[in-house]
Amino acid sequence: MSSSLLVIGTVAFDNLETPFGKADMVVGGAATYAGLSASYFTPYTSIVSVVGEDFPQSFINTFREHKINTEGLQIKKGEKSFFWAGKYHIDMNTRDTLDTQLNVLADFDPVVPENLRSSEYLLLGNLMPKLQLRVLEQMAVRPKLVVMDTMNFWMETALDDLKLVLKQVDVLTINDEEARLLSGEYSLVKAAKKIMNMGPQYLIIKKGENGALLFRDNKVFFAPALPLEDVFDPTGAGDSFAGGFIGYMAATDDISFENMRRAIIYGSAMASFTVEKFGTERLVNIKEDEVATRIQSFVNLMQVDMELN
């Protein structure tokens, strides 16, 4: 029996440019990718976010087709949705931000609908730490598991707020550069120790095509990324990862370290779909047996029998 999952984050328009092509005004944002990704695991996924009047009803229908509850998605009349334009280089690990227009995000005050305030799983997707705090405050019951995603921008501009959120979350997901920035340590092992001292009991360090590390006390688990012929567009990979991770956790309702190891493989599998096409094009169209087949690819990739022969 799946548990309820609440996802907050942006819902936005993106202009994307990669070595494989360009796409303009595609729907993106952290809550979009994370919510869609989670929806493959739990039918009780809700999003809290904000868009402008320009946001297409067709995409709200897409959310609903994925059984995502959009009660908490504010639609601001006469305003425009958050907009981001970025360009990726051949290595896909670095990107240039070409344009950012906050629009509705500038004065967004997230409101968690009454009936979602006792959601059992909470994903604080990448957003201003102040807004992540605002959502935490509104929860009637402390969720079983709170996962926080954030980025270097907030470390540079809102570190104090970010540290307040950190104290209240169970799992933090950031990339390797962000782990170094937040901790001041180059070694990821040292960085992980410092960051876990800031609050979260678990730390996931995402390394893109080089996989992800899950830290807990002195234990560490490594999940590889699936080697792909081409990474078409990495936008949303991290959000799809976080959504798949917490979606699987909510679906299985087991917050053990062992289950988190599995959840990371599911998160990685969802990210591997997202990067196959532009924007959410692939993520909105995954068949159930494709998830199972992809998971099997990960099992094959990691399979080794270390019994001595």
Residues in contact with a copy of itself by the rule CB under 8 A: 90-91, 186-190, 207, 210-211, 213, 219-224, 227-231, 252, 254, 258-259, 261-262, 265, 295, 298-306, 309
Q: How far apart are CA 62 and CA 77, in angstroms?
A: 21
Question: Cα–Cα distances in Å, from 48 out to 74, 110, 132, 145?
Answer: 8, 7, 11, 17
CB of 267 vs a copy of itself, minimal distance in Å: 13
Percentages helix, strand, coil for the chain (3-state, rounded to 5) are: 40, 25, 35
Using the 8-state DSSP alphabet, how is residue 56 labeled? -
CB of 87 vs a copy of itself, minimal distance in Å: 17
CB of 210 vs a copy of itself, minimal distance in Å: 4
Structure tokens at 240: 């799809």
Using the 8-state DSSP alphabet, how is residue 199 labeled? S
CB of 309 vs a copy of itself, minimal distance in Å: 6
CB of 247 vs a copy of itself, minimal distance in Å: 15
> Measured from the CB atom, is 140 or 299 closer to a copy of itself?
299
Contacts of 145 (CB under 8 A, 6+ apart): 120, 121, 122, 170, 171, 246, 249, 250, 255
> Measured from the CB atom, is 161 or 254 closer to a copy of itself?
254
CB of 188 vs a copy of itself, minimal distance in Å: 6
> Measured from the CB atom, is 111 or 291 closer to a copy of itself?
291
> Measured from the CB atom, is 127 or 192 closer to a copy of itself?
192
> Measured from the CB atom, is 91 or 137 closer to a copy of itself?
91
> Measured from the CB atom, is 71 or 177 closer to a copy of itself?
177
* Long-range contacts of the stretch 282-290 (C-beta < 8 A, 24+): 283/33, 283/36, 283/37, 283/236, 283/240, 284/36, 284/62, 284/66, 286/40, 288/40
CB of 300 vs a copy of itself, minimal distance in Å: 7
> Measured from the CB atom, is 20 or 59 closer to a copy of itself?
20
> Measured from the CB atom, is 90 or 141 closer to a copy of itself?
90
CB of 64 vs a copy of itself, minimal distance in Å: 28
Residue 86's SS3 state is strand
Report the chain's terminal Cα–Cα distance, integer Å. Answer: 42
DSSP bridge partners of 126? none
Q: Is 261 exposed, middle or buried (0-12, 13-18, 19+ CB in 10 A)?
A: middle
Strand pairing class (82-88; 95-101): antiparallel
